[in-house]
């Protein structure tokens, strides 16, 4: 029996394909300059680990924050302080209506909160906000959403959000209970498990104590699903 020749096994095949992909990207960038991804810099978070690793949250990129729910809430509150300090605007899309505004009014005044009934609706709302391009930080909080709802989000939605994020200068963060956003360019994790002793500590100390770890894809040119590894740790 004759098998067709498998060209993918040819030596140098992957290198050729990669070069072609890069060439195709350049061609598209020339033809459609408006669709080019913008390098929007970073949004400094005030979280030492994150800022040391990447300088802050990447703008024009989709970041996944995959942590426990307590650490996720700490991150949201830390970002509110960032928003107040940077005098920019942020949006929080809450898939489970769980946000408790137990933070200073100065930060709340710059935060657009969108309470959604389910995760799919929350993704749609994030889509609208990314298209808008007015706010500097968009947080999609899925950590309290039921798992069945999370499973209903099609994978291509994340790619769509990533493409939209690339067209803006906003930092887009998806807070998930477990890694699930394949299209994310940056993934942040943190230490798990808080005890009741945390309720007697300053919130800023808790934020500093969370072991934030940042993983990023390699450069946009070589946009392959390979994670570069850890940039910095606590």
Partner 1 sequence: MFAVILLPNFRLQAALRFREAMHARPVALMDGQAPKEGMLEVSDAAALAGVMRGQTSPQALARCAGLTILARSPAEEGGAQAALLEMAAALSPEIEATAEGFCTVNLQGSRVNDWQALGAGVVAGLASLRLRAQVGIGPNPDLAFLAARHARLVLVVQSPAVFLANLALHELDPAPELLAVLRDWGIHNLAQLTSLPRGDLMDRLGPEAGRLWERAAGQTERPLRRVRAAEEFSEAFDFEHEIDSAEPLLFLLRRFLDQLALRLGNACRVAGQMKLTLPLANGSAYERTFTVPSPTADVEVLFRILHTHLDGLRLDHCATGLRLHITPTHAERQQFQLFETPLRDPNRFGETLGRLAALVGIENAGVVEVLDTHRPDSIRLRPPRFHEPGSMAAPADDGLAVGLPLRRYRPPIAAQVRVVKQQPVRLESARVCGAIRAALGPYRASGGWWDADCWSTEEWDVEMEKGGLYRLARVGREWRIEGSYDEPLPEDRRGLPALAAMPSTGARA
Residue 32 CB, nearest distance to partner 1 (Å)? 22
Residues 189-208 that bind partner 1 (CB under 8 A): 189, 193-196, 198-204, 206
Among 104, 152, 154, 220, interactor with partner 1 by CB under 8 A:
104
Among 57, 61, 62, 107, interactor with partner 1 by CB under 8 A:
107
Give the range of 8-16, 18-26, 54-62, 210-218 binding partner 1 by CB under 8 A. Answer: 210-218
Question: Of 53, 69, 56, which Cα lies nearest the Cα of 170?
Answer: 56
Q: Report the alpha-carbon distance of residue 87 to residue 110 in Å, rounded.
A: 8
Q: Report the alpha-carbon distance of residue 170 to residue 138 in Å, rounded.
A: 7
The contact mask relative to partner 1 for 44-83 (x = CB under 8 A, - = no) is ------------------------xxxx-xx-xx---x--
Rounded to the nearest angstrom, the gap between the alpha carbon of residue 225 and the centroid of all alpha carbons in its chain is 15
How many residues in the shown chain lie near partner 1 by CB under 8 A? Answer: 82
Residue with Cβ nearer partner 1 (30 or 102): 102
Q: Is 132 in the site for partner 1 (CB under 8 A)?
A: yes
Residues 6-35 that bind partner 1 (CB under 8 A): none
Q: Report the alpha-carbon distance of residue 224 to residue 22 in Å, rounded.
A: 11
Q: In 10 A of CB 151, how many CB atoms?
A: 9
Residue 159 CB, nearest distance to partner 1 (Å)? 12
Q: Is 153 in the site for partner 1 (CB under 8 A)?
A: no
Q: Report the alpha-carbon distance of residue 53 to residue 94 in Å, rounded.
A: 27
DSSP 3-state assignment of 63? strand
Residue 127 CB, nearest distance to partner 1 (Å)? 10
Are 148 and 123 in contact, with CB atoms under 8 Å apart?
no
Question: Of 198, 194, 199, 232, which Cα lies nearest the Cα of 215?
Answer: 232
Q: Is 185 in the site for partner 1 (CB under 8 A)?
A: no
């Amino acid at each position: 029996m004759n098998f067709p020749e498998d060209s993918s096994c040819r030596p140098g095949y992957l290198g050729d394909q990669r070069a072609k992909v890069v060439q195709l990207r350049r061609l598209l960038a020339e033809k459609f300059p408006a669709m080019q991804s913008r390098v929007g810099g970073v949004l400094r978070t005030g979280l030492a680990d994150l800022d040391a690793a990447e300088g802050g949250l990447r703008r024009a990129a989709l970041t996944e924050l995959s942590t426990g729910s307590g650490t996720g809430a700490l991150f949201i509150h830390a970002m509110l302080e960032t928003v107040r300090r940077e005098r920019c605007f942020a949006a929080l899309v809450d898939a489970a209506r769980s946000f408790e505004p137990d933070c200073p009014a100065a930060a709340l005044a710059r935060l657009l909160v969108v309470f959604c009934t389910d995760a799919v609706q929350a993704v749609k709302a994030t889509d609208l906000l990314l298209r808008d391009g007015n706010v500097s930080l968009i947080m999609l909080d899925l950590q309290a959403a039921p798992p069945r709802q999370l499973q209903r989000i099609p994978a291509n939605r994340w790619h769509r959000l990533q493409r939209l994020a690339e067209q803006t200068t906003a930092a887009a963060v998806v807070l998930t209970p477990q890694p699930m956003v394949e299209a994310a360019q940056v993934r942040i994790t943190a230490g798990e498990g808080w005890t009741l002793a945390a309720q007697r500590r300053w919130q800023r100390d808790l934020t500093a104590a969370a072991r934030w770890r940042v993983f990023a894809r390699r450069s946009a040119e070589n946009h392959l699903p390979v994670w570069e590894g850890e940039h910095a740790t606590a």
